[in-house]
């Protein structure tokens, strides 16, 4: 038995698929003149097969316009370009290198030419050209590229890491579970797994298993068995049945309010990454969207979405919410959410670097497109806007000034928007939590982002499985920052919610209720479990639990105590 860290609940039993991220490296092997013709034939075959493959995928897309369809069409155009074929052949003849290397070099050269162009659209094509180069070279080297967006059968995916964009485009019908070496409970891949309700474990090396082997796993305990015997399969099947029963029980609470035994209500909201996910509000019985992570609509495209495209996305989310509030967070790029066309530089410490509001304030045109789109969507429902990674009052003031500038422009242009649109900030940098009173007079709400608040307070990278045991939202230092933020919010009449993963942890609910948290926002799948916990508790009990927790001196003791109370 192997054990990792369970990050998304659920039991899976099925076949493993070991996924190699698509990095194909040149071999640098020199060939002799007699091999030139063979290598050129190999180039032609790689190009033809890649075209066939892309055409097949295109045919499976149907006729509707979609981001995926656009991307494949662009890739096909590149693969069909005769200039690419000529350049690769030339490399084989002149530099005497093998077909795969020649294709990588040829696509690299063309990509570099595009990168040097003035027009952003052409610069953005460079990433597509390199992607096609990888496909072509893989064909020439005879390496099979597994494409997670098109799987033929249900599998449990094992990988060193899955990027958020790979996770977002995954063929979710066929992914039974995810197992990665890297990542943690709050890495964006784990968060997406929860949203998609796919069991997931991190901290397990992919070489523990070979593709095709049978595997059973538990996304809560992190247990993983390769080639389970019949007794072990029976155990996992029993757990699966219990999991399903429990899920059914809490799902029956859908139409009931999140109210404590003594009648105190709290708001439960959902975190989403794509506009259509807002519909889950009604499926799980939530009060609205507490966090719309808009960066995912930027990640799915080859270039930044225009104001119009964004307006359409936000309006869709608002319509799906059907009158319920939607908190739209402005772009939180960077950290582990890379967006190629934003040219975020390679950094030593990306989570401490050029990220979120820092990028937006540095690129005001990009920021204003988004602000205008959000404002325009506010004419269609209850929209609120939230700035991520605010670390200084000057950043908040500059963001508010840009928002006002956009409002003035829209008024002149005759576009409708909500003049009373509420504005809030994520409280996720310790300096802000510790000095919440500086920020409170300028906003209508706070949303505590425990995922980042923990990593910055504890100096523990949220994506590093090796030090995952040091990362805990129950750390007494973290809890004091949360308490201070909530206390200040109450004092200033600022609404206070939480949208980090802690809010979706049912064991933490009594503590958060006792601290006075007003809104809990989480992946839709967690709503029934948290609601169940809140409905089984009085505020008096919650206050007592909180008092006890605040006297405790370690995250381990607090976790144990709260889980025992569950």
Catalytic residue positions? 188, 499
Q: Minimal distance in Å, beta carbon 255 to ligand PEP?
A: 27
Q: Minimal distance in Å, beta carbon 439 to ligand PEP?
A: 16
346-385 positions binding Mg ion, by CB under 5 A: none
Using DSSP's 3-state secondary structure scheme, residue 217 falls into strand
499 binds, among Mg ion, ligand PEP, none (CB under 5 to 8 A by kind): ligand PEP
User: Which residues lie closer than 8 Å to 166 by C-beta, 6 or more apart?
Assistant: 21, 148
Q: Minimal distance in Å, beta carbon 428 to ligand PEP?
A: 5
Based on CB atoms, which residue is closest to ligand PEP, 161 or 332?
332
Q: Minimal distance in Å, beta carbon 217 to ligand PEP?
A: 24
Stretch that binds ligand PEP, among 84-92, 282-290, 445-453, 553-561 (CB under 6 A): 445-453
* DSSP code of residue 228: -
Q: Are 304 and 124 in contact (CB under 8 A)?
A: no
- Between strands 5-8 and 2-3, the pairing is unpaired
Selection from 248, 314, 256 nearest residue 286 by Cα: 256
Selection from 484, 545, 481 nearest residue 514 by Cα: 545
Stretch that binds ligand PEP, among 48-56, 227-235, 443-451, 535-543 (CB under 6 A): 443-451
- Between strands 175-180 and 200-202, the pairing is parallel
Stretch that binds ligand PEP, among 73-81, 314-322, 361-369, 446-454 (CB under 6 A): 446-454
Q: Minimal distance in Å, beta carbon 277 to Mg ion?
A: 18
User: Which residues lie closer than 8 Å to 14 by C-beta, 6 or more apart?
Assistant: 154, 155, 156, 176, 177, 214, 215
Q: Does the footprint of Mg ion cover residue 290 (CB under 5 A)? A: no
Stretch that binds ligand PEP, among 8-16, 18-26, 448-456, 532-540 (CB under 6 A): 448-456
412-431 positions binding ligand PEP, by CB under 6 A: 428
Q: Are 422 and 382 in contact (CB under 8 A)?
A: no
Burial of 298 (0-12, 13-18, 19+ CB in 10 A): buried
Nearest residue (beta carbon) to Mg ion: 452
Selection from 281, 186, 194, 158 nearest residue 10 by Cα: 194
Residues 499-538, one symbol each (x = binds ligand PEP by CB under 6 A, - = not), give: xx--------------------------------------
194 binds, among ligand PEP, Mg ion, none (CB under 5 to 8 A by kind): none
Burial of 248 (0-12, 13-18, 19+ CB in 10 A): exposed
Q: Does the footprint of Mg ion cover residue 449 (CB under 5 A)? A: yes
13 binds, among Mg ion, ligand PEP, none (CB under 5 to 8 A by kind): none
Q: Does the footprint of ligand PEP cover residue 451 (CB under 6 A)? A: yes
Q: Does the footprint of Mg ion cover residue 131 (CB under 5 A)? A: no
> Which residue is associated with the tokens 């967070």?
329
What number of residues does the chain have? Answer: 566
Q: Does the footprint of Mg ion cover residue 452 (CB under 5 A)? A: yes
Distance CA 159, CA 17 (A): 9
308-337 positions binding ligand PEP, by CB under 6 A: 332
Stretch that binds Mg ion, among 402-410, 447-455, 487-495, 530-538 (CB under 5 A): 447-455
455 binds, among Mg ion, ligand PEP, none (CB under 5 to 8 A by kind): none
Q: What is the 3-state secondary structure (H, E, C) of 411-445?
A: HHHCCCCCCCCEEEEEECCHHHHHCHHHHHHHCCE
Distance CA 310, CA 504 (A): 28
Q: Are 85 and 43 in contact (CB under 8 A)?
A: yes
* DSSP code of residue 337: B
Q: Are 43 and 92 in contact (CB under 8 A)?
A: yes
Q: Are 465 and 203 in contact (CB under 8 A)?
A: yes
179 binds, among Mg ion, ligand PEP, none (CB under 5 to 8 A by kind): none
Q: Minimal distance in Å, beta carbon 536 to ligand PEP?
A: 26
Among 452, 461, 518, 532, binds ligand PEP (CB under 6 A): 452
Selection from 328, 332, 330 nearest residue 354 by Cα: 332
Based on CB atoms, which residue is closest to ligand PEP, 381 or 449?
449
293 binds, among ligand PEP, Mg ion, none (CB under 5 to 8 A by kind): ligand PEP
508 binds, among Mg ion, ligand PEP, none (CB under 5 to 8 A by kind): none
Based on CB atoms, which residue is closest to ligand PEP, 7 or 104?
7
401-430 positions binding Mg ion, by CB under 5 A: 428
Residues contributing to the site for ligand PEP (CB under 6 A): 291, 293, 332, 428, 449-452, 499-500
Residues contributing to the site for Mg ion (CB under 5 A): 428, 449, 452
């Amino acid at each position: 038995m192997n054990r990792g860290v369970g990050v998304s609940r659920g039991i899976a039993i099925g076949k493993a698929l070991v996924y190699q991220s698509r990095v194909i490296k040149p071999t640098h092997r020199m060939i002799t003149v007699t091999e030139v013709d063979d290598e050129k034939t190999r180039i032609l075959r790689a190009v033809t097969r890649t075209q066939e493959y892309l055409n097949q995928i295109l045919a499976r897309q149907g006729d509707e316009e979609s981001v995926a369809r656009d991307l494949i069409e662009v890739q096909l155009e590149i693969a069909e370009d005769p200039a690419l074929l000529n350049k690769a052949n030339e490399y084989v003849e002149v530099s005497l290198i093998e077909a795969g290397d020649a294709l990588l070099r040829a696509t690299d050269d063309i990509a570099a030419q595009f990168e040097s162009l003035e027009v952003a659209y052409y610069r953005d094509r460079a990433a597509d050209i390199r992607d096609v180069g990888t496909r072509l070279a893989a064909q020439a080297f005879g390496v099979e590229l597994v494409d997670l967006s098109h799987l033929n059968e249900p599998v449990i995916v094992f990988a060193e890491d899955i990027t958020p964009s790979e996770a977002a485009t995954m063929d979710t019908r066929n992914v039974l579970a995810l197992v990665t070496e890297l990542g943690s409970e709050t890495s964006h891949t784990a968060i997406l797994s929860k949203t998609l309700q796919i069991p997931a474990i991190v901290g397990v090396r992919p070489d523990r298993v070979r593709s095709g082997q049978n595997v059973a796993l538990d996304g809560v305990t992190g247990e993983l068995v390769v080639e389970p015997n019949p007794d072990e399969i029976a155990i996992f099947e029993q757990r699966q049945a219990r999991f399903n029963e429990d899920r059914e029980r809490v799902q029956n609470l859908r139409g009931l309010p999140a109210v404590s035994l003594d009648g105190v209500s709290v708001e439960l909201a959902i975190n989403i990454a794509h506009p259509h996910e807002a519909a889950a509000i009604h499926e799980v019985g939530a009060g609205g969207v507490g966090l719309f992570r808009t960066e995912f609509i930027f990640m799915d495209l080859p270039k930044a979405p225009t104001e119009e495209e964004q307006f359409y996305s936000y309006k869709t989310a608002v319509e799906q919410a059907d009158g319920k509030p939607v908190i739209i967070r402005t772009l939180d790029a960077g950290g582990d959410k890379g967006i190629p066309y934003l040219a975020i530089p390679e950094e030593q410490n990306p989570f401490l670097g050029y990220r979120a509001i820092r990028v937006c304030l540095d690129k005001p045109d990009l920021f204003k497109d988004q602000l205008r789109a959000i404002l325009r969507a506010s004419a269609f429902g209850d929209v609120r806007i939230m700035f991520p990674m605010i670390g200084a009052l000057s950043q908040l003031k500059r963001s508010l000034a840009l928002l006002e500038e956009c409002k003035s422009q829209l008024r002149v242009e005759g576009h409708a928007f909500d003049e009373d649109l509420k504005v809030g900030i994520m409280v996720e940098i310790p300096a802000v939590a510790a000095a919440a009173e500086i920020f409170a007079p300028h906003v209508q709400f706070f949303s505590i982002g425990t995922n980042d608040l923990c990593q910055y307070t504890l100096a523990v990278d949220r994506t590093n499985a090796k030090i995952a045991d040091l990362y805990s939202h129950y750390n007494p230092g973290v809890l004091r920052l949360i308490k201070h933020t909530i206390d200040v919010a109450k004092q200033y009449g600022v609404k206070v919610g939480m949208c980090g993963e802690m809010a979706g942890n049912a064991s933490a609910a009594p503590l958060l209720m006792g601290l006075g948290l007003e809104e809990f926002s989480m992946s839709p799948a967690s709503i029934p479990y948290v609601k169940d916990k809140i409905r089984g508790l009085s505020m008096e009990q919650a206050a007592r639990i909180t008092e006890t927790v605040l006297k405790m001196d370690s995250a381990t003791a607090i976790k144990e105590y709260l889980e025992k109370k569950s």
